[in-house]
Amino acid sequence: MKKIMVVLVVMAMFLFSFNVFAQAQSSWSVKAGIDFGSELEVDNVGDFDTEMGYSLIGEYKMPYMQNWNLGAGIAYQLDRSDDENGEDFDFGFTPFYGLAEYRMQDSPLYFIGHLGYAAMRFEDNNEPDTDSSGGLYYALGGGMDLGQRYEAEVLYTNNTGEIEYTNRTYDVDYSKITVTFGMRF
C-alpha cells in the first residue's frame, strides 16, 4: 500500500508540474479500451488464457520538442478471470505510467510508449488467504487522430506482479493487446 501511495504522490507532482510548464499547449485524454489476446503466465504453475477485458484510461500530454510529446497516465483494468481452465480466480492491474509519443510530420499517425508501475489485484475464491503485489508495466504501439478531438490506439501491453499464498511467492506476467478509443480535452 505504501508503494501505491508513493507512486500516486509522484504522479500528482508530475501532473502538476507538467500543467504549470505547458498550460496552454497540454491536453487531457479520456479513453476506453478493449483488451484481448491476453495471457496470464504464473511461474511454476502454468499459462492461462483470460477473458476479454475492458480498461478505463486517463492521460495527460504536453509538447516536449518538435514531434515529441511527454506525459503521464493511469489505466484501470476491470477485473477478469481465466477463460478456458475453469479456474476460480479474478485479477486486474492498475498501471501508473510515464509516456512518450512521437507524431509523424503532417500525418495523423503517431507511435507511443508507456513505462511505469502496475498495482495488482488478485482474488482466488478457493484460497482466501492470498496476497498480491505489482511490478513493472510497459506498452508499445501506435495511434491515429480521428479529427480534432478523437483518437484511437493499438497497444501491446505487459504487466508484472507477484502472488503469495501458502507461504510461496509466484511471479506473474500478464500480456495483452489493447485497442482504445478516446477523446482529448
* pLDDT score for 137: 97
Continuous H helices in 22-144: none
Residue 117's closest CA among 71, 73, 172?
A: 73
Spatial distance between the Cα atoms of 126 and 75, rounded to a whole number of angstroms: 28
Q: Give which of 135, 140, 148 is closest to 178, Cα–Cα.
A: 140
Least confident of 15-19, 57-61, 63-67, 126-130: 15-19
Q: How confident is the model at residue 44 (pLDDT cuts 50, 70, 90)?
A: confident
Domains of the chain: 2-184 (2.40.160.20)
The residue whose grid cell reads 479456474 is 87
pLDDT at 128: 73
Q: Concatenated DSSP letters for 109-143?
A: EEEEEEEEEEEEEEEETTBSS-EEEEEEEEEEEEE
According to the model, what pLDDT value does residue 92 have? 92
Question: What pLDDT was estimated at residue 22?
Answer: 47
d(CA 116, CA 158): 11
CA 162 – CA 147 distance, rounded (Å): 41
The pTM assigned to this predicted structure is 0.82
Provide the percentage of residues in the chain whose pLDDT is more than 90: 58
pLDDT at res. 2: 60
pLDDT tens-digit series, residues 97-156: 999 999 999 899 999 999 999 999 988 877 777 889 999 999 999 999 999 899 999 999
- The answer to which of 3-7, 86-90, 166-170 has the lowest mean pLDDT is 3-7
